[in-house]
Copies of this chain bind each other. A is one copy, B any other.
Amino acid sequence: MDAKPTKTKFHFQISASSGVPIYRQIMDQIKIQIATQPWDPEQFLPSVRQIAEDLAINPMTVSKAYSLLEKEGVLEFDRGKGMRVKKISSSQKNFGERQKDVTPLLKEVIVKAHQLALKREDIFSLLEKLWREHPHEK
């Protein structure tokens, strides 16, 4: 192998004290980074050992995050190569199914809004604002 360091777009900041399990922090950060950065379709994510070393944790913990994300359809595994971001899953599920997937989360929003005495317009404008601020490439 040549000495050129793998140009790794992904990196991680783990909080041991947050109470959130490490593998889940990794999953969340990968999802967020996928959603907020442009990525090279050919680019592999850092290897489990790479991340494990960086974070001083066990490789199996990273592996758990990776395989769960693979099961979720977010990443795909190339034998002997590594993990990379799976090309968008829009083709795999039809519109109705994807709507159905996100519905529970939206219901949660409605219940929480009620709890906090926030009106529908309040939620909509906040969501609108967050979406504008959200880095989106394409």
Contacts and interface: CB of A to CB of B under 8 A. Distances in A.
Contact of A98 (B31, B74, B117, B120): B117
Given A106-B126, A130-B110, A101 B88 contact: no
A49 to B, nearest CB: 27
A111 B74 contact: no
A108 interface: yes
B88 A117 contact: yes
A54 interface: no
Contact of A126 (B99, B108, B112, B134): B99
B111 A31 contact: yes
A20 to B, nearest CB: 12
Interface residues of A, number: 39
Interface in A37-63: none
A105 B116 contact: no
Nearest to A74: B115
A14 interface: no
Contacts of A117: 88-90, 98
Given A35-B110, A111-B35, A118 B102 contact: yes
